[in-house]
A = this chain, B = another copy of it.
Amino acid sequence: MQCPLDSKPRWERRKDARPHELLAAAIDLFVERGFAATRLEDVARRAGVSKGTLYLYYTNKEELFKAVVRESILPFLGKAELSVAEFEGHSAELLRSVVMNWSRQIGQSKASGIGKLMLAEAVNFPELARFYREEVMSRTRRMISSILERGIRRGEFRSFDTVQMTQVLIAPMMMLNAWKHSAVAPCASDELQPQAFLESLLDVTLHGLLPRAS
């Protein structure tokens, strides 16, 4: 009656899996259609459950969305912050490493599409906006800022306005992610090649940030 390797009854194991199944279905649809345009019934169907079941796990659409962000973005952010704090090499190397990890972990997953949606819909869902700004945007900016400041401090970058430069660096990465999930993206795929895009970005950026060649 019970799997000898797992003492829980089957439906209880099911219950443990449900949240993840629901979040997986939710992120797919949120990223594809946006927050408002995603119907909870579709999320449920995609997860193979009924509408009502969704509400057993998340009290409403906004909480479901927050849970998606918590599961798909925040863990990565934590790891990235840690790696920044511990890194010991050249700041250009640190920047490259963070960008590349970002690309590998967020960029390859559906999570890369969340930013696009918040950009456009936050204004219609103030509580979501507040949550995302505080939990994701602010932390991300702080992390990038700290890399730039470290570089300047250590003489590895020339001096510049770190506040603006932080945005200048984040902007193309966010846009890259947005484009990946956008119907107005630089065409079907041949024009937008994430790896090449990031290489170009790091290329121009590192050329631009490093102290003048001497």
Q: Within 8 Å of chain B (Cβ to Cβ): is A138?
A: yes
A33 surroundings in chain B (CB, below 8 A):
123-124
* Interchain CB contact under 8 A, A184 and B116: no
With A118-B184, A141-B191 known as contacts, the answer to whether A37 contacts B209 (CB < 8 A) is no
A200 contacts B by Cβ under 8 Å = yes
Give bound CA distance, A162 to B135, whole Å: 36
What is the copy number of this chain in the assembly? 4
Quote the shortest CB–CB distance from A182 to chain B (angstroms): 5
Which residue on chain B has the smallest CB distance to residue A129? B183
**A57 at interface by CB-CB < 8 Å:** no
- Complex contact A182–B123 (CB within 8 A): yes
Interface size on A, residues (CB 8 A): 60
- Choose from B36, B119, B163, B204 the contact partner of A208 (Cβ within 8 Å): B204
Q: What secondary structure prevails in chain A residues at the interface with B?
A: helix
A193-B164, A196-B161, A200-B161 known; A37-B171 Cβ under 8 A: no
- Is A199 on the interface with B (CB-CB < 8 A)? yes
Looking at A3-11, A72-80, A90-98, A173-181, the stretch in contact with chain B turns out to be A173-181
Residues of chain B lying within 8 A (CB to CB) of residue A170: 175, 186
Residue of B nearest to A190 (CB): B163
Residue contact B120 to A182, C-beta cutoff 8 Å: yes
Query: Please, could you name 11 A-B residue pairs with CB atoms under 8 Å apart, sorted by A?
Result: A118-B182, A141-B191, A161-B199, A164-B199, A165-B200, A168-B172, A170-B175, A204-B208, A207-B207, A207-B208, A212-B213
